Amino acid sequence: MNDDEIMVSIICITYNHEKFISEAIRSFLMQKTNFKFEIIIGDDCSTDKTQSIIKFYSETYPGRIKLIASPANLGTHKNLINCVTQCRGRYIALCEGDDYWINEYKLQKQVDFLENNADFVICCHYHKVINVNNKTLYVHPNPTPLIHTYADLLAGKQEETKTATVVYRNIPETLQLFTAPWFFECFAGDKMFKLWATQHTGGKIYVIPEVMSCYRNHEGGVWSMINAKARMEMVISDFNLIIKNFTYSAIAKKRLLLLYIKRYLLFELQNKRFRKAYDTVKYLL
């Protein structure tokens, strides 16, 4: 790598995060690395002061922050893709505008791992969940190293891989997901990305056993405003996208059927979604 090469592109997508965006940006700027990184912030036409705050930091730290301002509200997926197309880094790190990092060596540790472990496509770490008053709602009491494979993700296992923990290889195999039409139908784009990246590269996900970011629960959050019934409907919708757009063995197919029966079937029946339940079960038989 030459001295001018960007090693990591930090992508931050944001919308109406004026209360939180400063903390996110400061957590990017505090990173101590032996490589160059860029900060790309996609503001999805915020109606509050988010964009003016980003511009302040951009002017205060010239050349460090690139603002991509959407002229209209595009939604999370398109906002993300607009940022991805601007990335020059060998790796891409993710953090949404209402979350932030708490370890100044986070990027260095994740890049060091990926540089030395070619069989891994994504590196994550542990996180803590906080509320608007910065009270800790969840943190794992005893972090240990974790490894997730494509098969694990397909079975619903993705512990400690929240968006703000992700660093992944910026290669064609990981980026092709964003050209799939069905991607725009999904709700949990982060989950689809982890599945896609591991399937199409054969690589694994490694979770560093350190708490290095905060995920914030608040009323303006993407999932926080959604009631439990609507959230479950979204999860089931994504499940159906997964079984129809990813490949898996006969054994994995049976596991997916059992997973559906265990987690979702009762909800479908209780809400008289008989046809949807029938179609899913039939597809997996």
Kindly give the confidence (pLDDT) of every residue in the chain, 285 residues in length, as a single tens digit, with 9 standing for 90 and above. 555 799 999 999 999 999 999 999 999 999 999 999 999 999 999 999 999 999 999 999 999 999 999 999 999 999 999 999 999 999 999 999 999 999 999 999 999 999 999 999 999 999 999 988 889 999 999 999 999 999 999 999 999 999 999 999 999 999 999 999 999 999 999 999 999 999 999 999 999 999 999 999 876 655 555 788 999 999 999 999 999 999 999 999 999 999 999 999 999 999 999 999 999 999 999
pLDDT value of residue 168: 98
Show the tokens assigned to 83: 């940022």
pLDDT value of residue 32: 98
Query: What are the extents of the domains in the chain?
Result: 6-216, 228-284
Angle, vertex CA 162, rays to CA 209 and CA 193, nearest 5: 115
Top CATH class, 6-216: alpha beta
What confidence tens digit (pLDDT) does each residue in 166-219 have? 999 999 999 999 999 999 999 999 999 999 999 999 999 999 999 999 999 876
pLDDT value of residue 47: 97
What confidence tens digit (pLDDT) does each residue in 50-59 have? 999 999 999 9
pLDDT value of residue 132: 85
Strand partners, 180: none
φ/ψ of 87, rounded to 5, equals -75, 135
| Integer Cα distance of 77 and 280 in angstroms | 26
